[in-house]
Every structure is written in structure tokens, then in C-alpha cells.
Structure 1
Amino acid sequence: MGNERKKHPSPSFLSQHCAGLQNSANSGSPAGINSEVSEKSQSLINSFYSEFGISLDGYSRLQQAVYWADPDRSITNVSMSTSPAHTTFIIENLKESYQTGEELFVTVHANDFDNKSKSYGGDFFQAKLFWSKTKASVFGEVVDLLNGSYSVRFLLPWVGEAQVAVRLIHSSEAVQVLKRHRDTDSDRVYFHGYYEGPGPNKTRLSEAVMCNVKWDKNGLEHMGTGDCCCEYKDPRTEETWRCQRPKSMPCSALVYHSMGGYRNRLTNKEKKLIGIKYVAEKCHPGLHTPVPAGFYLNDVWTSFVCSTQHFTTQTTTECLKDKHIYMMGDSTIRQWFEFFVKAVPSKINRSALKQMNLHVQYQAGPLLAVDVKNNIDLHWRAHGVPLRSQKSAVANLHYISNEIDGLAGGPHMVIMFNMGPHFTTYPLDFYTHRVLRIRKAILALLQRAPDTTVIIKTVNTGYKDIFGSDWYSLQLDRILRWAFQDVGVYILDVWQMTACHYSEENIHPGPVIIKNEIDILLSFICPVYI
């Protein structure tokens, strides 16, 4: 097709085709992202510096990373928001053919539902270059020009046909709804605490109450003040978990934790806004993640970060031999644990990873698999509260930073963690403090055992609602990268891998994506494989 604008794009998917690509070799560098630094109280900045060693410049970079443009007018009607049906894009300087390694630029022009041009930025777009027949895809970097237009940059990495797709995930007006509820309505996801203890005449008492994070101005004030609640302050992280005080038992009787439920407090107008659908070098710690970070071809991910390999069942076992592996986080990193258990199946006269039954609630863990012959032990446990899980023993819910503090480290130890989906309903400062405590624990670990392998899994895409939008996840992802950019750890970028794949979106990606993630993970653990 030519480079004229489409007159009637799909309401949720804008797409154009570009011509065939020919083979050549150079790749471009990622475009920068311009943003402003928002003001923060001096006391908060001082807290970051005194406790975590984060300088004023470092804190300013964090604010730049999570800055998001606001509408420059009051939104009185949904029709004033960005319309995917009226938003258009053009491929700049479209040619009949391109060389691999060239860059392709697309300009998006946002219009509202009255087909009027938007004059401000803040829309959340995702873009990809793909070709379904060869199962190839690559992530596109979207830059907000802050005037209603957006620039998208693609690297052209494969030979053959390609199609450009730009999708409006949330309008700038919907983003403001997400932002407000994150900062003032954190208990829209709530949890249960279960208290148990002895009763009269050898009976057993039990009571379930509502629990949540205690964080200043986080929308949890309605739980009350004074003697309303039981508070559990971790002595090391200094985070406080709060539960309504049970009527018949002491605070010390808390035994179990579980997911409670969801409360949707969106106004009718907000519901309408939200409801609009629309290589390289050897792998080593500290590598920059470019945009794009790689691409799919025939369902195999080629990384632009470092030289990755593709592992078989046998080479997976050989890579993990003599390794003590600790995974901490949510169910998306538990998928890695499950992959390893399935990837090294039991065979006659051959050892294998076998999962032990620890008689725990599966969603919280801990989980353990061992291969005695090859001296492999594989651990997974949840990251602690807040955790949207079924009823789980509180004693099994450990903060990641505390868990890392209890590990000696060393050349045979691999530590990997992630945090994302369970934190989307909380203010950014709460998540930042949690991440910085982990950063502090990682720095101490690498000080006592610098040859420990530490791997951070970034956040997945796949959420689109008020409880876990990709926009929330994107900001958490930026905080995570900012906190560990100078620590000397591996950062495994799954954000781009989950955003650009052709398969149906899911916060728990399918086996094809997981296998590619595992290949990168093993390439980090065994960068020079025999």
C-alpha cells in the first residue's frame, strides 16, 4: 500500500503494509524519550538518599522515566477522548523495498471522537512490525511528541514481507483515570487475613478479616484509625501489613493470607473511558536493552541484547548442573519453574528434575524441584504480600529482600526475581520503596558474593483494565529498570517479547514465548556453552 492515511481504520487496530525487505547488515540506535521532572517533597528525596543511596540526580531520572503527559483541558465528555476509529498514521518516506538493518518511521496523529485533532499527548500506544506467515515480529518504540502526534521507530531485522500495526491501548484521558485510582484507590484489590486459635471447651476459633498494605494516602483510610487494626511491621523492610482487628482473637493469631476480591469504583464516565477498546556480544550483567530488543521469526526470538542460544532438554540439564536456583516473584516467573519441571522429564536410567510435594498452597509456595544426580535444586516462592492468591499460610509469604538477605550467594547460586502484576493498584512510591529494598539486598549480596548470578525478569504485558492495565505495568517496569541499571545484574526483557508476539494477549504467555524466555535465561546462566 502507499503511504496515504487510512480513511476507516479498525476501532482497535490500525494497520498498513510495507513492501518486501532485502538483506543487509546495520542496525540503528534507539530513539530517546523526552520527559519533564515532576516535583517531589524534599523529605521523600532525603529518604531515598539516606536509606538507599539514591542521589538527587538519580531520583530525577526516575521521575523522567515515569513522567506521563496530562490533558491540557478539562474532560467533560467522553467524545473529547482519543478515538481509535479516527486516529490515523502514515509511514514516513515509504519505499518499495528496504534493506535489513534499516529503520522505518511511522507518525501517528491522534483525533477525538468528533474527529478533531488532539493538541496534547499522553495516549498509550503499542506498536509492532510483524508478518504472520513467517511468524515474525518485532517491537516498535513509540515517542510522545506532546502535541497530539507520536513517532514510532522500527528496526527492520528480517528478509521478507512485513506489516505495521499500531494499537491504542488507553487514551490520554483513560490514563488519567488509571493514575487517579492507582494513587487514591489502592484497596480496589483487597485481601483476607485468617485468624485461628483455641476456643472454649476445646473448640477452634477462626475469623477472616480484610487486609491490605499500609501506605500513606493510598486509599485505605476507610479501614479506620486508632485501634481499628492489627499491624505487622517487618523489622528489616519496615513495611507494614494491616488487617482489621478480629473480634475474638489477638493480632498474633494471624495464620493465613488470601486474595479477597475486587471493587470497581469507576464512575459511569470513567467506565466509558476505560471501556473503549482499541548480536552480538556474549551475555553479561549490565547490558543495555535496546528498542527493539530482538525479533521473532518462525516463533524463535533473535536477541539484539547479546548472543543467545537455543537449549535442548539435554543442554538445559547440563547448563543447570551443580546450580542452586532461587526464583521469587509472581505466577509469571513461576511459569519458568513449571517449564523446567516439564522440560527435563523423567526417563528410564536417567535423572530428572522432580517436584517435591511440600504440602503448601501452590499460588504462594514455596515450591521445590530437585535433580539429585546432577545436583540441581530449583526453588520458587511468591514475593510476599500483597499477593492475589487463594488462602495461603502467612508464614510462607516472605519479602524478597529478606529472602535474599538469608542467602549466602556464590558461583553455584542463581537468584532471579520479578514484581509487577500484584502492585498495579498501589502508588508508585510504594512500589519504588519495595524495589529499592530489594536493590539494597542485592548490593549487599554482591558485596559478600560477587560471583552470584542475579537475573531480573521485567514485567509482562497483557492487562487492560482498572486493576492491572499495561500502562500501570509499564511504569512499574521503568522503575524496576531504573533501580537496577547500575547494579551489575542481568535484566531479561520480556516486556517487548510479550507485547509484539502475534498470539492472543495473556498476562501468562503461552509455551512458545516461555521457551524463548528460557533460552535467554539459560544464555545468561551459561553464556559460553560447550
Structure 2
Amino acid sequence: MQTYLDCFFYIVQYISHKYIFILSRLIVVSNIMDCKTLKSRRRCALVCVFACCLIAYLTVWMTMPTLQAPFMYFYLALRPSDKVTADDSVSLGETNAANCRYHVLNNGSISKGDIVKIRIDARDKYNQARFVGGDFWFAWLDSKKPVASTAGKIIDHNNGTYLVSFLAAWAGHADINIILVHPSDATTFMKEVFWNTDKKIFWQGYYRSPKATQTVLCTIQSPGIWENKCTYPRPVANGRTSFVCDKPPGLPCSSLAQYKTHSAMIDTRTTEILGDKKFLFEWGNYNQKISGNIKRLHFKESSVTFNLDGLPTCQPQTPIPSITGYWMHNQWHPFHCRKYNCWTNSIKVAECLRNKEIYIMGDSNGRQYYNEIIPLLPPEPADVDVRKSEHMHWYTKTYNISMTFDFHPESIASHWLTYGVFHYEVDILDQLVNAECNYVIIISTWAHFTQWTRSAFVERVGLLREAVDRFVKRCPNAPIILKSPHPRDHWSLQSRLLCSDFMLYQLRKILRKIFADSGVFFLDVWDMNIAFPAENSIHMPTTVVDQELFMILSYVCNSTCEY
């Protein structure tokens, strides 16, 4: 009975969504033909009226939850219960996107400014209801007319159901997108096994002397006992975690010249750690869209307006609401603080940063900021422009703006990196002793640390917090911005584990917690990036980066746009 009901329910949805126009034509045409042969045209007319009413009902079926309600009550009443009796013998499987369903909970029409509530019912590969939480989801609404999008707030009830809340931020259509990124079995494995396993990232270390060269294996290692190794500790930055290489035969440890990521060794180690859990990260269990009782919503126009210009200025301790904002025509509209839009005016940007020393440190997301700030300024030749992979410096006398970017050590790269030329964030901060304190500090330090153990990352971030505290004592008014992680692209099964979005979400929580009440402006871009209408990428499009920079500039110079 359950199978027949399920099939009927989804066949009706499919026909009503795909073939409604063809169906209507066939019914009307066939009845007109029959009318020519029937003695009673009245009966034929009644058939046509009924067919047209049915077509009209099915046409709006997919966009009006209230019209689905009578059938849903009938369907749910006849559908067998998910409860398992003592005599039942069942198998339990991982959450399966093909069997999961969402249901729009709003009754009646939805208007601009309303909150849309959607329930997710997780089911396993045997189509049984899940009774535990822990699945990792992405959820967003998007529209082409107008060009708008927003991410949803997801609450895990820890019983196999989830509540997603969206803001109806515009009038018009909104398509529902709910993605099962990882089932709970995968997230549990990542938190309890993978995150706490040492030696997940490897490099080839190239040692060189006038008479010989050697290439050996290097890794990041937690405290322990080892022999015949070259150890490169940096306690003030990494704590008890060390960069460790096998001792090259006949060469001193001081002869380490270069290093690059050892991809083959990383893949081998990842396969070893995965063991029989590999299937959890294969395509069928990763990043799969789920279906629901309605695919497209319609938001009616209303008198609701969002007074975004009346929001408070961006400050370190400004509370961030559960629904953080929305995109409209390639502009991000945050709900927690005011983002000024004057930064398309290069003179405004230059006035904001005049006489400033900007230090950007961390990973390649920070380098994106460095590269995108320059085009926002007036197009004048730079007096200094140094560009290396590990260090960049730019200076213009016209506005006396100095900008420096430094990549952190132990970075993941497929090309050879020179050892000893990269700088830790703590070292850079401790060297900033200009009494004028005309600094702007931007830190992005997360993209290369999903392979570290949880304890090692927590210790590293804690030491960075201590360096920030020392800097704040010297320069209490200098703005400091810490960029949050965001979802990224994953090109292989290994990447889905090693650089998992779930792991990045955990790093985001750690960064926010450790830097709470630090005076640092936490630039949380997670929902902003999920909602943007493009594929997630480690390096998001310029449109996104510029809007992030507009948030930074609105914090650094919140009075510049007032005149």
C-alpha cells in the first residue's frame, strides 16, 4: 500500500509540473471530438468543465501548499507508520538524499517580510525514518526575477527532523534548494576519527648543499618521541605541533631549501584512514539535492521594508542574527550592521585608507583581498609593487597607503615553496610597533588547516589570539578583521574529506569562539557565500570578494560615506 501511495503522489507531482500544458490540450481536444458524436452536448460540456478545473487545480498545485493539504492528509492517513514494532526486523542505513523529503509548513500565502518554515524529514537508504540528527545541510532560496537569493537557518532537532527558516526578502518567485552535504555517519566519522588522527598532510622536503641534494618526507606532527628526524618547532606560533622531516642522509637539517605537497602520500594516507568508510564520501552520499512537496514559492508584495540604512555601524561585538542577509542584483544586504555602498567611488576608498598601513596575512583568501583592494583605488601607478607568492607589498605616495600581504608557513601547494621566507601571523603582529598605530589588520587563516588535528588547530588559534591581545594593548583603536571560513569546491573524494565543508564549519565555530570579546571584527561570510548564485569555490568570484571588502571598509571607515 505504501509503495502504491508513494508512486501515485510523485507521479501526480511530476505530471502536474512537467506535462500540464500537453495534458490540458489532449483532454480538451478529445472531448470536443466526442461532442460531435454524443447526443447529449450538455454531458460533454460538463466533462470539459471538470477537466479544465482539474487542470487549473494541478497548475497551482506545486506553488500553493494549502491546495496540497487535503491530499496530504489523505496520503499521510493511509501511509503506514514509520514506527518499528518489537516483531519487526529492519536494517538501518545512512541518510539517503533520494529518500529525504522537505515540507513547506506555512499555511496560506507568503508575503515579503514573512518567515518561511520548512521541515526536513531525513530517511535512510531503506526509506526508513532516521531517528538521530547530525546530517550536514545547505539550504538557500534563489530567484531570477528579481535576481536575488538568501541562505536558510537550519536547526537540528536531533531526531531525524530539521527546521529551516528563510526570510522572504523580495516579492516574486523563490526556488527552494536543500542539499544533503554529508550524512550524519560521515560527520561523526570526521569529528571522532579523522579530526583526531595525526599525520594527514605530507610534503616533500628538498635538502641542498654544495655537494649533494636529497628529497625526503615531511609532515605536521603533534608532541611525541621520534628518532632520526629534522624538527622545526615554532612554539610561539604552533605550540607543541612541529614541522618534521625525515633526516636526509649526509645532509644537515639546516640545509632544508624547499618543500611542496606530496599528493600521492596524502591520498595513500587518506585511503588508510577511511578504511571501510570510503562509501560515505562517494558521490551518491555527498552534496545531493533533496525533493519536497513544493519546488517554487511565490512571495506576494507587501508594505514591509527593510531599513538597512538605519542599522548600527559595523562593530566587533555587533550581534549577528540567525538570518544574516540576502543578495539582490549582485549586492549583499546584511542584517546585523550597515554596509555602505559608496565604495564603488575610488576617491572614497582612497580617503578611507589614506595614511594607513594595511597588513593582510594568512592564506590565499587574504591574497584575494590584497589583489582586489588595489582596483578599488584611483588608477594611479604604484611607487612600490613587489609581488611574490609568499610576500607582496604595494605603496602609493599620493595617498600614503601601504599594503602588505604575507602567506603563512606550512601551506599546501603543488609547486616548490622556499623554506624560511614565509611569516607566521604572530610574528608579523609582534613586529608592528609604530607608535602612530595607523594599522589595518586583516587575517584569513583557515583554508590550510582542515588536515590538522582539532587540538593542534585550537592551540594555534589560541596563540594567535594571544598575539592579537598583545597588539591591541599597543594599538587599542587599530581595526582588526578576521575572515571566517566558507564552503569551497571539492575536486576528488579525498578533497571531500581533507577539505570538507563540514570541517570548515567546525573551524568557523572555533575561530568565532576563541576571538569572542577580543575586539576583533569577525567577518562571517558563510551564509553570504552559500547564498551567492554560483558554485562554491575556495576563491569566490570578484563580485563576492568586493562585497566582503565593502563590509570591511564599512567597519574601518564608517564615517567616510557620510559626506
TM-score in terms of structure 2 length = 0.74
Q: Which amino acid is 2:171 matched to?
A: V
Residues 309-458 of structure 1 correspond to what in structure 2 (within 5 A)?
309-310=340-341, 311-312=343-344, 313-344=346-377, 346=379, 351-353=380-382, 356-357=385-386, 360=388, 362=389, 365-388=390-413, 390-408=415-433, 410-458=436-484
Q: What CA RMSD, in Å, does the superposition of the two structures yield over aligned residues?
A: 2.6
Query: SS of 1:187's equivalent?
Result: coil
Q: Give the 3-state SS of the residue equivalent to 1:117 in structure 2.
A: coil
SS at match of 1:401: helix
The correspondence of residues 170-181 of structure 1 with structure 2, limited to 5 A, is 170-180=182-192
Query: Residues 83 and 112 of structure 1 are in contact (CA less than 8 Å); yes or no, is this contact kept in structure 2?
Result: yes
What is the deviation of 1:151?
A: 1.1
Runs of 4+ in 1 over 6 A off after TM superposition: 16-20
2:519 maps to 1:506: no
Kindly provide the amino acid, as one letter, of the partner of residue 131 in structure 1.
Answer: S
**What SS class does the counterpart of residue 140 from structure 2 fall into?**
strand
For residues 490 and 186 of structure 1, do their structure 2 counterparts lie closer, same or farther at Cα, with a shift above 3 Å needed?
same
| CA offsets 1:266-304 (integer angstroms, 9 cap, x no match) | 657422211123141011222222222211001110111
Residue 322 (structure 1) shift: 1.1
Task: Give the superposition deviation at 1:247.
Answer: 1.1
**Aligned-partner Cα distance in 2 for 1:386–1:436:** 19
Matched, 1:161 2:173: yes
The change in CA–CA distance for 1:496 and 1:366 in structure 2 (over 3 A counts) is same
2:155 is matched with 143
Contact 1:345 1:352 in 2 (8 A): no
Matched residues in 2 for 1:290 and 1:399: separation?
33
1:413 Cα shift?
0.4
User: After superposition, what is the alpha-carbon deviation per residue over 1:174-227, rounded to whole angstroms, capped at 9, x for unaligned?
Assistant: 22333355335443431222222222xxxxx222222121215xxxx8xxx532
Confirm whether residue 125 of structure 1 aligns to residue 150 of structure 2.
Answer: no
Between the two proteins, the alignment pairs up a number of residues equal to 444
User: Cα 1:18–1:195, aligned 2, differ >3 Å: closer, same or farther?
Assistant: farther
1:308 Cα deviation (Å)? Answer: 0.8
Alpha-carbon offset, residue 159 of structure 1: 3.1
* Counterpart position of 1:469: 500
311-320 or 325-334: bigger deviation:
311-320
In structure 2, the partner of 1:300 is: 331
2:359 aligned counterpart, secondary structure:
strand
Rg (Cα) greater in structure? 2
**1:19: Cα distance to partner?**
7.4
Letter in 1 for 2:146: T
SS at match of 1:374: coil
2: CA distance, partners of 1:185 / 1:165: 34
Q: Aligned residues: percent identity?
A: 25
Tell me if the contact between 1:18 and 1:163 (Cα under 8 Å) persists in the aligned partners: no
CA contact (8 A) 1:139 1:291 kept: no
Q: Which residue of 2 aligns with 1:211?
A: 218
Which residue in 2 is equivalent to 1:259? 261
What is the identity, as a one-letter code, of the residue corresponding to 2:216?
V
Name the CA distance, whole Å, in 1 between partners of 2:451 and 2:144.
Answer: 35
Structure 2: stretches of 5+ with no match in the other structure: 1-7, 15-60, 66-89, 289-307, 491-495
Partner SS state of residue 420, structure 2: helix
Match of 2:247 in 1: 245
Contact 1:255–1:394 (Cα < 8 Å) also in 2: yes
Structure 1: which amino acid aligns with 2:93?
M
In the other structure, the counterpart of 2:77 is none
Separation (CA, whole Å) in 2 of partners of 1:515 and 1:78: 50
Partner Cα separation in structure 2 for residue 320 and residue 78 of structure 1: 62
Which structure: greater helix fraction? 2
One-letter amino acid of the structure 2 residue matched with residue 376 of structure 1: I
How far off its partner does 1:79 sit?
7.4
Q: Return the TM-score normalized by structure 1.
A: 0.78
Structure 2 residue 206 is the aligned partner of structure 1 residue 194: yes
Secondary structure, aligned partner of 1:236 = helix
CA distance in 2, matches of 1:132, 1:186: 46
Equivalent position SS for 1:257? strand
246-255 or 186-195, which deviates more? 186-195
Q: Once structures 1 and 2 are overlaid, which stretch shifts more, 206-215 or 368-377?
A: 206-215
Q: Secondary structure at the match of 1:285?
A: coil
Taking a change above 3 Å as real, the CA distance of residues 18 and 497 of structure 1, as seen in their structure-2 partners, is farther
Cα 1:6–1:150 change in 2 (3 A) is farther
Task: Please say which of residues 312-321 and 244-253 is displaced more in the overlay.
Answer: 312-321
CA deviations over 1:38-70 (Å, ceiling 9, x no partner): xxxxxxxxxxxxxxxxxxxxxxxxxxxxxxxxx
Q: Which residue of 2 aligns with 1:232?
A: 232
Matched with 2:281 is 274
Preserved CA contact (<8 Å) 2:394 2:404: yes
- The whole-number CA distance in structure 2 between the counterparts of 1:503 and 1:355 is 35
Which secondary structure state, in structure 2, belongs to the residue aligned with residue 336 of structure 1?
helix
1-side partners of 2:171 and 2:433: how far apart? Answer: 48
1:395 counterpart SS class: coil
| Distance across 2 between alignment mates of 1:289 and 1:6 | 41
Between the aligned partners of 1:230 and 1:196, the Cα distance in structure 2 is: 14
SS of residue matched to 1:379: strand
2:384, 2:396 within 8 Å by CA — same for their partners in 1?
no
Query: Do the aligned partners of residues 191 and 180 (structure 1) sit closer, same or farther apart at CA in structure 2, a change above 3 Å counting?
Result: farther
Alignment of 1:42-53 (within 5 A): none
1:301-343 alpha-carbon deviations (Å, 9 max, x no partner): 0111211112123322222211110011111121111112333
What is the CA distance between 1:257 and its match in structure 2? Answer: 2.9
Question: SS at 1:211's partner residue?
Answer: strand
> How far is the alpha carbon of 1:127 from its aligned partner?
0.9
Distance in 1, Cα, partners of 2:446 & 2:457: 9
What whole-Å deviation, never above 9, does each CA across 1:350-404 have from its counterpart, x for those lacking one? x34576235x4x1xx1111221211111111112224435222222222211221
Aligned CA distance change for structure 1 residues 436 and 268 (closer, same or farther; 3 Å): closer
Distance 2:63 2:318 in 1: 32
Measured in 1, the distance between the counterparts of 2:153 and 2:383 equals 41
Contact map agreement 1:212 1:386 (CA 8 A) in 2? no
Distance (Å, rounded) in 2 between the aligned partners of 1:163 and 1:461: 21
Per the alignment, residue 53 of structure 1 pairs with none
Deviation at 1:449, TM superposition (A): 1.2
Q: Which residue of 1 aligns with 2:124?
A: 112
Gaps of 5+ in 1: 11-15, 21-76, 200-204
For the 8 Å contact 1:330–1:382, the answer to whether it is kept is yes
